[in-house]
Chains A and B, each alone.
Chain A
């Protein structure tokens, strides 16, 4: 099953490679990984999207927790959570497609943030699945370039990951 794991870790050189190294060394899947400092500049928040059997997910959580630089960890799938990813897509927007792309972008609550005679650049936020279905709707023929941040996630309501 797909899991989103959030962790707080020391914002130190090498911390990221400890996490990345752990996944490759132990053969765990990694769908996406995103990381940035938090309001406390000594801590980074990382979101990892991974998948595996329950036993493997349990090991991933334990192995991550074991890293000395990891200060706190939450498997978002253990409760209610919100998942968001940011995507920038450059699409070929000519002739009839121009109108159609505008409508599709609207439907997905996307914004056209850059326009030329031939191209739209669209910004979109949503769950990974929503972004996937946007790309599917637009169709590969029109897509010139995509950039995705990988998922970020946060617990709902009172679920807080903090030191």
Chain B
């Protein structure tokens, strides 16, 4: 029996066990929506803006180990999706985005709602396809899922012209896929791994720096075993949070621009650095020349060779999947008789603990008058037992969330790190809630960011998503204001959020519960009340100290040890 391209597409999604597609209809995808309508295995979540569809698919993927799927129409549907695609690309989220395109015969004629989808998305996808023949749909979708998930994950776009979605052919889903020009790395080189083990055992001031690759590879257990076996200090990047339990005494906190003093100092002064699925981002090591001033040997495990030696010189590269490489490294270490040098290690730990004491961990001065944002996050952690799924937007609130919500498990922390996309939090939380029904999901946001995709409150209503929105409302585009305060002579150019809506009424207008919290004493009871409302979305408008800044801070372009600690407390 012959099926239309649209029917084939849906059958492919069924074969890939896709539960939810986040999307928005339009002319070029009418046949696809018609095929969706006539089945009930693949469910569709109607968002209110295509950007949100992609962020929702992103949150869906990050908080599970599945591939997120979004569906958008041609032209403005696709361009609206681009921010979401770029966000997923920067953070390596496995995702398939399907876009409608004008009919093949109209391509290139400036047809109604035509844009060059493949051209526009090329720099921000792992790969993309324009399907010109209905016979190619099944094999292309198979390839798209394979590419999205294997190797270094990323978004893959499949652009399907309207006529192709209506042409007919027989359907057969390929059982396997090989792409001759694509060979993702798997196991690491055994010789290099043995060499790494030796370097680690000989280290005097070792440090383990683990990033998003650990989470993507589902290798937290291996990382945790390794850190404990060696008794080395461990730090996580923003993307790696939860990859190693934050409550562990060997955890020195997040590193980087807003990382802890101890993590940054240990990173700067170690003699052997093991980098695991982390890419030496500029927000992490600051100034590369300054970083290079202290000689240290770097071992770098990454599945993407282009992440290795991109910004820093690497002494021992290991190209491979974190999980497989760590398994082998653990085997080598456990099999050998040599153990780390305990006296050297004790001296190093003493130094790290001194840094801990100087930095005082993370500090802020609480108040009984005005709500401190850090206090809200601490209470949130307490009330949710540290077990919630947390999404964020971008800004100060994001950094406080990263610092004060101590993640002990991977895939609980969903934030836009690489692109830093305001507007990510709420739609991402929708995806998280869909794939983790019944779980506690909170979106930590700012009054600026939340307004970038506020319309999704409507989607949340339609799909009964009981997300808790924790808005740290400081009345400012706080993160930008902080830079203006520090580096631009207190000139708060366009960072005051004037004419804010009444968020309580706004939440109510969308059919949700709204709360305004203005006093420190009300923080805890309000959180308790909100989280007791298991079936409601609650929008919590916390009026927080507008002058609070994020510390510690390594100013842009500076070295890790040039860190500014909290103001006099």
The residues of A with any CB-CB pair to B shorter than 8 Å are: 9-10, 13-14, 17-18, 21, 25, 55, 58-59, 62-63, 65-66, 68-72, 163
Contacts and interface: CB of A to CB of B under 8 A. Distances in A.
B553 to A, nearest CB: 29
A58 B309 CA distance: 9
Nearest to A18: B122
13 contacts: A21-B122, A25-B123, A55-B309, A59-B306, A59-B309, A62-B305, A66-B304, A66-B306, A68-B147, A70-B181, A71-B181, A72-B181, A163-B180
Contact of A10 (B123, B181, B310): B181
B306 A68 contact: no
B253 to A, nearest CB: 31
Nearest to B304: A66
B504 interface: no
B221 to A, nearest CB: 29
Contacts of A58: 309
Contacts of A13: 130
A14 B306 CA distance: 22
Contacts of B309: 55, 58-59
B487 interface: no
B127 interface: yes
Nearest to A68: B127
Given A55-B309, A70-B181, 20 more contacts: A9-B181, A10-B181, A14-B122, A17-B119, A17-B122, A18-B122, A21-B122, A21-B123, A59-B309, A59-B310, A63-B306, A66-B306, A68-B126, A68-B127, A68-B147, A68-B179, A68-B182, A69-B181, A71-B181, A163-B180
B498 to A, nearest CB: 37
Interface residues of B, number: 17
Contacts of A10: 181
A71 B310 contact: no
A69 B304 CA distance: 16
Interface in B104-126: 118-119, 122-123, 126
A65 B122 contact: no
A71 B181 CA distance: 4
Contacts of A21: 122-123
Nearest to A70: B181
Contacts of A65: 305-306
B179 A14 contact: no
B306 A62 contact: yes
Contacts of A55: 309
A14 B373 CA distance: 49
A96 B119 CA distance: 53
Nearest to A22: B123
B307 to A, nearest CB: 9
Given A21-B123, A62-B306, A66-B304, A71 B118 contact: no
B122 A68 contact: no
B321 to A, nearest CB: 16
Nearest to A66: B306
A82 to B, nearest CB: 25
A18 B243 CA distance: 34
A122 B146 CA distance: 52
Nearest to B128: A14
